[in-house]
Chain A
Amino acid sequence: MKPAPFAYVRAQSVAEVFDHLEAHGDDARLLAGGQSLIATLALRLSAPALLVDINSLASLRFIERRGEAVVIGALTRYCDIENDPIVAQFVPLLAQAIPHIAHPAIRNRGTIGGSLAFADPAAELPACMVALEATLVVAGRAGERRIAADDFYQGMYATALGAGEMLVRIEIPAARANTRARLMEFSRRHGDYAIVGLAANGLLHPGGGFEELHLVFFGCGERPVRAAHAEALVLGAPGLPSHARLREAMAADLDPQSDLQAGPDTRRHLAAVLAGRALATMNRQ
């Protein structure tokens, strides 16, 4: 299908973006990589009056180590992240996640900020940011706000971004020597959205087991879902929990939707399988 008509501007500065957002409110949409937005336009799932193309804002495309954090500009493309040595060393969870996202032609174009702001509950990156305890920095006319990833996601495609604001960069705590990360997902084919996915990030305890652990599922609810009971189960015992125990924890942690691919019980089962496999490999690394 063809999109409904819209007007187009290519913003040359962040200030100009604020001008457009202020002038047009909800009628304007930001165009970053466009790999979700242009598809939704083609399907006429959305019909904004104005697209504000932010691809010329080169200052939002960077990956840097700043102190104990890795800072990534919102316009950084998946292909930049996929091949970046800083990410490979200091954000292994993100490095593992990128190859799961769609296909090379889409990764050449899609951006981290676009994915995070779109807030698709089945997408990898929002869950990674929650698991990494990343901070999302949004900017508006009044200045910047720093929002913890866990607070940023408020529901299906719903975020803490306010009117007139845009996501500008992401700050991720750099991995330490005992950080262990694992991204795993079940999908029918490579590049598909996951039926169930897991972003796991934790710190190994010198004496064995984990001293810190985040298990965050995607494709399992309206937003990235942290499995608090499963985390407590792992942190509270020396060895790794059995599948049966993880399965029990998932019953308390997850309330997944039913769709053509799987029902809630199947998803909880798969979540427990993923958690078991992820923990076993993280513990071994």
Chain B
Amino acid sequence: MSTLTPNPAAREVLITLQVNGATVTRAVEPRTHLTDFLREDLGLTGSHVGCEHGVCGACTVRLDGAIVRGCLVLAVQADGARVETIEGVTASGEIADLQEAFVCRNALQCGFCTPGMLICAAELLEKKPQAGRDEIREFISGNYCRCTGYEAIVDAIETTAAGRRKG
């Protein structure tokens, strides 16, 4: 059992995790959330810091294969875990069709919400390939977009789902 130091902030913890397939080891303060760690320590700035209390969805990443809010997971909690960010899923090409559809349908304007929206939509496409517009809206209801009014985003996800069903 560990003991508390007088200044716990000074006590960094060594973590080792997989990020986009690469193993990284870093010392982090316990209070650092996963998104700050990815952005500040690893330079992966595709995950965005919006509200920092779990409301906006801009920081959505995959942790051990499932989407989470990067701001509601501490970096120390990801010790031993597998993390995938928008950089990783872009490089692998697994959501190339979804990204193409976002461009074609004008499903972004400023782009701030887009990385989180794409990673969220990717889970929907995988888990509920038959989802209709209502289900799509419900699934992305935790990801805020202040530009598009969502209609174009729903169009893009629906288009991608239809494209994948055709094969």
Contact = CB atoms under 8 A, between A and B. Distances in A.
Q: Top 3 closest A-B pairs, CB basis?
A: A103-B142, A5-B9, A8-B30
Contact count band on A: 35 or more
A267 B139 CA distance: 28
Contacts, number: 108
B141 A19 contact: no
A42 B60 contact: no
A50 B4 contact: yes
Given A41-B31, A103-B57, A109-B73, A5 B66 contact: no
Nearest to B13: A8
Nearest to B123: A104
Given A38-B54, A38-B71, A39-B54, A106 B142 contact: yes
Contacts of B9: 5
Nearest to A12: B1
Interface of A: 1-10, 16, 19-20, 23-24, 31, 34-35, 38-39, 41-43, 49-51, 53, 55, 79, 99, 102-106, 108-109, 189-191
Contacts of A5: 7-9, 29-31
Given A50-B4, A109-B69, A1 B120 contact: no
30 contacts: A3-B31, A5-B7, A5-B30, A7-B5, A7-B8, A8-B76, A9-B1, A10-B79, A31-B74, A34-B73, A38-B33, A38-B71, A38-B73, A39-B53, A41-B31, A42-B33, A42-B71, A43-B53, A50-B4, A102-B142, A104-B123, A104-B124, A104-B142, A105-B57, A105-B69, A108-B66, A109-B63, A109-B73, A190-B138, A191-B141
A49 B6 CA distance: 10
Contacts of B143: 103
B152 interface: no
Please indicate which of the listed interface residues B36, B76, B77, B138 has the most CB atoms of chain A within 10 Å of its own CB.
Answer: B77
Contacts of A24: 4
Given A34-B74, A109-B73, A7 B4 contact: yes
B23 interface: no
Contact of B72 (A4, A43, A99, A106): A106
B8 A50 contact: yes
B67 interface: yes
B38 to A, nearest CB: 15
B31 A108 contact: no
Contacts of B133: none
B30 A51 contact: yes
Contacts of A191: 141-142
Nearest to A8: B30
A42 B52 contact: yes
B92 interface: no
Nearest to A51: B30
B166 to A, nearest CB: 25
B11 interface: yes
A79 B143 CA distance: 18
B74 A104 contact: no
